[in-house]
Structure 1
Amino acid sequence: MTNHIISPENLVYKKPELMNDTQMHYCPGCSHGVVHKLVAEVIEEMGMEEKTVGVCPVGCAVFAYRYLDIDWQEAAHGRAPAVATGIKRLWPDRLVFTYQGDGDLACIGTCETIHALNRGENIVIIFINNAIYGMTGGQMAPTTLMGQKTSTCPYGRVAELHGYPLRITEMAAQLEGTCYVTRQSVDTVASIRSAKRAIRKAFDASMAGKGSSLVEIVSTCNSGWKMSPVKANEWMRENMFEFYKKGDLKDTI
């Protein structure tokens, strides 16, 4: 029997050391696991394993502290940017980031999000946008698209009754305190690589004291959307990407 030695350049996949051997609670096909892996890889590559503090939200990622072996702080619903502000001001040498969904960040936490970004706090906000409340039963979110059906708008979102979808990343790009604002996805290998570069750029800017960064990841919720993972990715590309256009919205780094 021949022993095959895998050289580093031929290594297809390696679990980041910061990721714990713990079964995730996310639904199959969810984007959270991919983004967790990217965050772990970037922290390791920066050598910041012992100097990183993540802030968990209330939402699907409420148990993120189980999966990445770094320091974490749980925040009240929507208050992650305020908590991250306190941590970064107390320990300016720490890499501090929040990890939030659209309900936590763009609904109950809109105030904390906007004001932390506007103050130019040296934190990174990672924003998972799947256009629905995934954890609590698939209700309409601030980011739900026009015409999109949810459990609380079963006939589709209409402006007269529900208002319009909130593009909070475009809002963030207009604020004086932000230095880097970008929208990415993790649906293909190329998009995953782009998302990782964006996270690294935001983390570097935070440690360089250049201001606030917001990294939005347009994501799927195949459970809430009532689709298979494959169909959910297709629907996202056909509908979400048209309204939530990917790319850098602001870069002053």
Structure 2
Amino acid sequence: MNNLKEIDQYLAHKKLPHMWCPGCGNGVILKHLLLGLAVLGIPREKAVLASGIGCSGRAGDYVNFHRFQGTHGRTLAFATGIHLSNPELTVVCLMGDGDCGAIGLNHLLHAARRNINITAIVANNLNYGMTGGQYSPSTPEDSLTSTSRQGKTGAALDLCRLAAEAGANYVARSTVYHVREMHKYILEALNTRGFSMVELLTPCPTYYGRYNKIGDAVQMLEMFKEKAIPLNKFQNMEESEQQNHFWRGVLVRKNNPDFYTRYRQKEAVQ
């Protein structure tokens, strides 16, 4: 898992070093996405990385294979078109929590509902990191951000449960602290036919950690270690206690036929 030579073919070395802030987990997420492609033996010419706007949207700059960067929130819509025009491609969407859960939420629900054969990786840094640290749909209640100086009003949106209810074949959540678990979930998602989604909690020490007096990246990772707990343990907690924690684990694992397969089956009947 730690052999960087495995991912050399997928990296645009001339674009490195990356522009992410010190302590940001986006580089860790990208590394393990590329490792997943390498482990599964997916050729460069058969892989596509679609990204949107936000910190994670810069990931496409650092890959040496097909990439597409769309407008804010529309990543899954573009990726759906790419997949349906060439179903032989492995299409991966790398999005932030704002890109996926705010302006792009409608596309998430319908990509999951249709069970489009796309892997969605959501880098959730709990705020809008690129534009100044405003609160996002997934920012925990009472959190301090540049637009909630007295604490955010309203509960966080659980993107995983929305994708699960909409019909995704695979849904999981982990953190960049739980790196082996994260690697496993990315592999499973890439290996799932139909819509798969992995949400990964990642530090934003520049804004979220600083505003909420959590500290630097190491201290944010320690927070994830303490507060991100296994799903079965989370489900046995009182609701008031759940509000101070994040669950992690596999929420959905199914094998329903994907949209393209069902579409072709209907064509064959005609």
Shorter-chain TM-score range: 0.7 to 0.9
C-alpha change, 1:238 and 1:193, in structure 2 (3 Å) is closer
C-alpha distance in 1 between matches for 2:224 and 2:185: 20
* 1:24 lines up with 2:26 in the alignment: no
> Which residue does the alignment assign to 1:169?
160
* 1:205 lines up with 2:212 in the alignment: no
Q: CA RMSD in A?
A: 1.6
Could you list the structure 1 runs, at least 4 aligned residues long, displaced by more than 4 angstroms after superposition: 238-242
Q: Give, as a single letter, the amino acid of the residue that structure 2 aligns with 1:147.
A: D
Shift of 1:185: 1.1
Aligned-partner SS, 2:191: helix
Unaligned runs of 5+ in 2: 230-243, 256-270
Contact 1:167–1:244 (8 Å) recurs in 2: no
Q: 2:147 aligns with which of 149, 152, 157?
A: 152
Shift of 1:197: 1.4
Q: Give, as a single letter, the amino acid of the residue that structure 2 aligns with 1:39.
A: L
C-alpha distance in 2 between matches for 1:122 and 1:232: 33
Task: Provide TM-score, normalisation by structure 2.
Answer: 0.81
Contact 2:56–2:123 (8 Å) recurs in 1: no
> Which residue does the alignment assign to 1:43?
37
C-alpha distance in 2 between matches for 1:40 and 1:229: 23
* 1:68 lines up with 2:63 in the alignment: yes
Aligned-partner SS, 1:235: helix
> Which residue does the alignment assign to 1:221?
204
C-alpha distance in 2 between matches for 1:170 and 1:244: 13
Aligned-partner SS, 1:50: helix
C-alpha distance in 2 between matches for 1:92 and 1:43: 17
> Which residue does the alignment assign to 2:116?
121
Shift of 1:12: 5.7
C-alpha distance in 1 between matches for 2:183 and 2:225: 19
* 1:130 lines up with 2:125 in the alignment: yes
String of CA shifts for 1:233-252, please: whole Å, max 9, x gaps.
22334456554300000111
Unaligned runs of 5+ in 1: 1-10
C-alpha distance in 2 between matches for 1:147 and 1:170: 21
> Which residue does the alignment assign to 1:54?
49
Give me the identity figure in percent: 32
* 1:171-250 → structure 2 map (5 Å cutoff): 171-176=162-167, 178-187=168-177, 191-206=178-193, 211-225=194-208, 226=210, 227-239=215-227, 242-250=244-252
> Which residue does the alignment assign to 1:89?
84
Q: How many residues align?
A: 231
Write 1 or 2 for the structure with the bigger share of helix: 2
Q: Give, as a single letter, the amino acid of the residue that structure 1 aligns with 2:224.
A: M
Aligned-partner SS, 2:82: helix
Shift of 1:229: 1.0
Contact 1:131–1:140 (8 Å) recurs in 2: yes
